[in-house]
Amino acid sequence: MKQRLRSDIKKEDTWDLEAIYKDVQAFMKDYNELKEEMDKIVEYKGRILENAKTLLEFLKTSDELERKLYKLFYYANLNFDADTTNAKSQELIGMISKLMTDYSTKIAFVTPELLKGDYKTIEKYYQDEPNLLQYKFNLECIYRYKEHTLSEAEEKVLSALSDSLGSSEDIYEALTDSDITFGNIKVDGKEIELTESNYQTFIESKDRDVRKQAFDTLFTTYGKYKNTIANTFKYNVETNEKIAKLRNYNSAMEASLYSDNISVLIYDNLIKTVRENLDALYDYYDLKKEVLGLDEIHLYDIYANMVSSVDKKYTFEEAKETVLEGLSVLGDNYHKKLERAFNERFIDIYNNKGKRGGAYSSGFYDTNPYILLNFEGKYNDVTTLAHELGHSMHTLYSCENNPFNTSSYRIFVAEVASTVNELILVKYLLKKTEDKNEKLFLLNKLLELFKGTIFRQTMFAEFEKEMYEKNAHGVILTNEFLSQEYYKLVKDYFGKNVVCDELIKNEWMRIPHFYYDFYVYKYAIGLSAACKIVHDIETKGNDSVDKYLSFLKTGGSMFPASELKVCDVDISNPKFIEDAIEMFRNIIKEFREIYRK
């Protein structure tokens, strides 16, 4: 079908950005005012800490400017994502990008100037000016870095070299996004070019030959670039390790976890707990082998769907009612906020020419938490709606219950709220349906979620940890070494009943998250935490709902581990991971019982 133009979409099916600015003229008024006002921040250079009153004035001025800046930012970006072909939207996003760069340059002095002082001075200022206590957590977060901050001259050198030191990710992206081509595979007698974008479609194909072609072609191609990617990875590891040591961290991992105040022990507990429960994953692959009717299961078989997609279409109104009913377990207050999302047009529903693909939730203190969808009426569109509403409700609760300076929650906890919604919805749909195939379809979706998030991401996390440790002990990270170590890890995680085709040794080369530096473990922790929350809501009712809503209200006022404790998730104790894997075992059991009937 031909894509509709933005002008063809009904107004009620688009998000209401007039709630941010009535029109471009109102945007331009704020934009021009902010350009003039930004120099206010520079007036505090050299005097932020001269007394409690000045510090408070500075922090309030910073808040005021940033609120205006981000209001402009979201209006420009949301308009652009709705139609990237619109010339005016392109102009606005260019203007706001430059403005944000200018603001970043103007405030570059702030953190170094604060860190020249002593936190004991700040503690005295709390007594002199009690209103400063509103910023206590923010200031504590800054001063935590004092022991990891170098001299002014050293910091200038690192800052000047920051682009070069961070170039590994840019080089990797340029190579994998632009330069690598994979060639063709044959599908239904036709030659089709394989890309990273369509690989997932072919590796899930019912046709085993198509799956094998896609697998072989993709990983053979990556193997041709093995030395370039290995060197890129190696220099990224070495750079992060050297910077970490310069900044007085014990390791690059410790440096990466520091911003969230996460102990290395939590990372290690995840790997240890998952490894101790790999038999659950082996059982899943045994089930898949049985359902697919294979004599032996290869790595190119593991993404094949055990159940065909249910032939069920949803109108958006049906999706809305399904989500509202499914999430009603979260109580009246949460339900009213969900209704606001629909009634006040937080959601941009349908695809149009020039609209950004995928889905997201985006908003902040002075806007609605808007949701971009490309709704086509499939089951995945319904779960995506629930998922993104989880993010939006998190934003609403955070912003309504915190001042601006502590209203933004961290990425570490962001996926918890969205995954809670997803799990609750699937469990609701499972109870609602009597159709055997639909039940199997829903259970299969859950199994894929657990496999891909807890087990696969933990395998990546372990590989990353091991390679940094090997480098720290003087091992040269050659392509041969990286590939063999990855291959050994794959064989551990897939077990003896899965044929680990040797080409999988090249898979580490296609994982961009290895350049995000100790990031992937957050996915596994997030899903495990969500499982605990959902289980508590199912078994303990309103008390657990109240605790969960209290967690959503914390915003950015605490570190992630403390926030999760509000809803009884203790990430320092690996039991919540064990319980999540037990849930995975029970889903396998339920699937097997229904399938064999």
Phi, psi at 93, each rounded to 5°: -70, -35
Q: What is the four-CA torsion angle of 207, 208, 214, 220, rounded to 10 degrees?
A: -160
Cα–Cα dist 251/247, whole Å: 10
Residue 344 among the catalytic residues: no
- CA–chain centroid gap for 447, Å, is 20
Cα–Cα dist 307/438, whole Å: 9
Contact partners, residue 283, CB within 8 Å, separation at least 6: 585, 588
Collapse the DSSP code of 489 into the 3-class scheme (helix H, G, I; strand E, B; otherwise coil) and give the result: helix
Say how many residues make up the chain.
597
Cα–Cα dist 149/271, whole Å: 31
CB 431 within 8 A of CB 419: no
Tell me the angle at which helices 87-106 and 52-82 cross, rounded to the nearest 10 degrees.
160
Q: Which amino acid is at 361?
A: S
Phi, psi at 556, each rounded to 5°: -115, 30
User: Which one-letter DSSP state was computed for residue 263?
Assistant: -
- Where do we find the tokens 């990855």? 486
For 513-565, give the secondary structure using H, E and C: HHHCCCCCHHHHHHHHHHHHHHHHHHHHCHHHHHHHHHHHHCCCCCCHHHHHH
Question: 338 vs 7, 391, 482, CA distance in Å?
Answer: 27, 11, 47
CB 548 within 8 A of CB 330: yes
- DSSP per position, 75-139: HHHHHHHH-TT-HHHHHHHHHHHHHHHHHHHHTTTHHHHHHHS-HHHHHHHHHH-GGGGGGHHHH
Residue among 241, 388, 415, 563 flagged as catalytic:
388
Name 192's bridge partners.
185
Q: Which two tokens stand for residue 88?
A: 């005016």
Q: What is the four-CA torsion angle of 22, 72, 348, 524, rounded to 10 degrees?
A: -160
Q: Among 474, 476, 581, which Cα is nearest to 524's?
A: 581
For 397-436, give the secondary structure using H, E and C: HHHHCCCHHHCCCCHHHHHHHHHHHHHHHHHHHHHHCCCH
Task: Please name the helix (run of DSSP H) or strand (run of DSSP E) that holds residue 198, with its range, or none.
Answer: helix 196-203
- Where do we find the tokens 């520079």? 42
Q: Which residues are catalytic?
A: 388
